[in-house]
Amino acid sequence: MKQRRRIYYSESQKALMWERWRAGESLQHIAQLFDRYHSSVAGILAQTGGIQPLPRRRSNRSLTLAEREEISRGLAADDSIQSIARRLSRAPSTICREIKRNSGEKGYRADSADELAWQRALRPKACKLVATPALAKLVAAKLRLEWSPQQIAGWLKRTWPGNEGFHVSHETIYRTLFIQARGVLKKELLEHLRRTRAMRRSRHHTQKTEDHGRIRDAVSISERPATVEDRAVPGRWEGDLLCGSGNSQIATLVERHTRYVMLVKIDSKDSETVAKALIKHAGKLPQELYKSLTWDRGTEMAGHKRFTIATDIPVYFCDPKHPWQRGSNENANGLLRQYFPKGIDLSVYSQAKLNAVARRLNERPRKTLDYETPAERFHQAIASTG
C-alpha cells in the first residue's frame, strides 16, 4: 500500500480540529476533513491532553515589530541609545537590553529580533499547584478518593472561604493532570477520574445513537407532571441498566432532587426479573420518596405495568434517542464506571457490595447541590417526611 506523505497542519487547520473536538465530534470524523487517519489528528490533540491550549498573545509592554524597525533604522544612522529611546518613549535600558540580546549594534535585524523574542516568550506558565505544594498534596488526596476536579474545587472554596491561596479552579486541576509537562500531579492520578481516558473529551461527545426498542403502552415523558422538571420536590427517580460482560447488569436509580443513587442487583435482563427486583426495592422507601420513575426505552422495562400495579408508582419513558431526558441517571452511570469498568462481570457483586459503592458515590460533594453531598440532602428529605 502506498504510504501517505507526512502532513504539517497549519494553525487554521489546528483551530478547526479544536472547534470540532469541542463540539464532540470523533477523531475519525475530524480526520476525514483532511483525508487523514484518526491517529494523525490524535497526535495533535494529545499533546495537551485534549485540552485546547490558550492562544498566545504578546504582552502590552513588549516591543513591537514597528519599534524594532525604528531601532534598526536608528542604529544604521548611528543614533545614540538615548535618542532612539526618546523617539519610542522607552527607557534607554530597554533599548540597550534589546540590542545586546539580538547580536549587538552591528548585527541587529528587526525581523529576526522579533522572531527570537516570540520564541523566548514560549514558556509554560507556572500553575498555582506548582507554587503551593500543600494545595497540590490536598488535591491529590481527594483525587485518590475519586472526587472529581469540580468537586474538589467547590469543596476547597467552601472549606476555606476567606483563603484564596487554597482556591483552585477545576480547569487548573484538569490541565495539570492531562498536561504532564507541568510535573505536579502524577499521571497515575488519572486512574481515579470517573473516565480514565488519555485525553479530555468534550461534554457534547456521545456514542449512544440507537433506540433500545419499543415498549407497549409506554407513557411518554411528555405526560409526566410539570412539577417534576424543577426538581423542587423529592421522590422523582430516574433509572436504567448498567451492563457488563456475560449478559450481566445492575439497575441504577437516581433521585432527581437530591441526586441520591441506589443500586439494585439484577439476576437477568428479562422484563419479569427486572420488574420483580424493582418492586422489591421500591418497598424499602417511604411512599413520599418514591412518586414516579423515568426510564430509558430499554425492553427490560416492558413489565412496567406490573411494576406500577404492585407499587402504585407510575413509569414514564424518554423519547427515542433522547437519553439526556434522564440526565441525572446518565451522569450517575458515568460516575459508576469508575467502580464497574466496561467489560467486567457484574454478576459477581453482592447487594452489600453495590450498597457500599452507592454509599461512596453519595458521600461525594456535588456542585449542583452547592457542594453538599447527596446523602446529606436525602437524609434531610427523609427527616422532612417523618
Structural domain of residue 25, as residue ranges? 11-48
Among candidate residues 104, 120, 136, the one where a domain is terminated: 120
Does 380 share its domain with 340?
yes
What's the average model confidence in pLDDT over 75-95? 92
- Residue 21 belongs to a domain: yes
Give residue 35's pLDDT band: very low, low, confident or very high (50, 70, 90): confident
Residue 263: enclosing H or E segment and its boundaries? Answer: strand 261-266
Look at residues 204, 216, 199, 273 and name the one whose alpha carbon lies nearest to residue 241.
273
Does 134 share its domain with 43?
no
Q: Given this model, what pLDDT does residue 28 score?
A: 79
Distances (CA, A) of 174 to 44, 53, 56, 167, 271: 18, 13, 20, 14, 41
Look at residues 111, 193, 204, 122 and name the one whose alpha carbon lies nearest to residue 152.
193
Query: Which has the higher per-residue pLDDT, 172 or 138?
Result: 138
pTM exceeds 0.85, yes or no = no
Return d(Cα 336, Cα 327) in angstroms, integer.
Answer: 14
- Residue 204 belongs to a domain: no
- Residue 6 belongs to a domain: no
Does 370 share its domain with 291?
yes
Does 257 share its domain with 347?
yes
Does 227 share its domain with 372?
yes
The CATH number given to whatever domain includes residue 252 is 3.30.420.10
Return d(Cα 322, Cα 208) in angstroms, integer.
Answer: 9
- Residue 198 belongs to a domain: no
Among candidate residues 138, 172, 192, the one where a domain is terminated: 192
Among candidate residues 192, 212, 245, the one where a domain is terminated: 192
Using alpha carbons only, what angle is made at residue 23 by residues 340 and 212, rounded to the nearest 5 degrees? 50
Does 380 share its domain with 237?
yes
Radius of gyration from C-alpha coordinates of the chain: 29
Q: Which cell numbers hold the place of 314? A: 407510575
- Residue 60 belongs to a domain: no
Does 152 share its domain with 277?
no
- Residue 321 belongs to a domain: yes
Return d(Cα 209, Cα 186) in angstroms, integer.
Answer: 35
Look at residues 299, 328, 319, 365 and name the one whose alpha carbon lies nearest to residue 156.
365
Does 277 share its domain with 329?
yes
Lowest mean pLDDT among 87-91, 224-228, 246-250, 276-280: 224-228
Does 299 share its domain with 366?
yes
Residue type at position 330: E
Q: How many CA atoms does the CB half-sphere of 53 hold within 13 Å?
A: 16
Tens of pLDDT along 16-26?
888 888 888 88
- Residue 55 belongs to a domain: no
Does 225 share its domain with 374?
yes
Does 309 share its domain with 283?
yes
Does 233 share its domain with 368?
yes
- Residue 211 belongs to a domain: no
Tens of pLDDT along 324-374?
888 899 999 999 999 999 889 999 999 999 999 999 999 999 998 999 999
CB neighbour class for 59 (10 Å; exposed up to 12, middle 13-18, buried from 19): exposed
3-state SS record for 336-365: HCCCCCCCCCHHHCCHHHHHHHHHHHHCCC
CB neighbour class for 122 (10 Å; exposed up to 12, middle 13-18, buried from 19): exposed
Structural domain total, the chain: 4
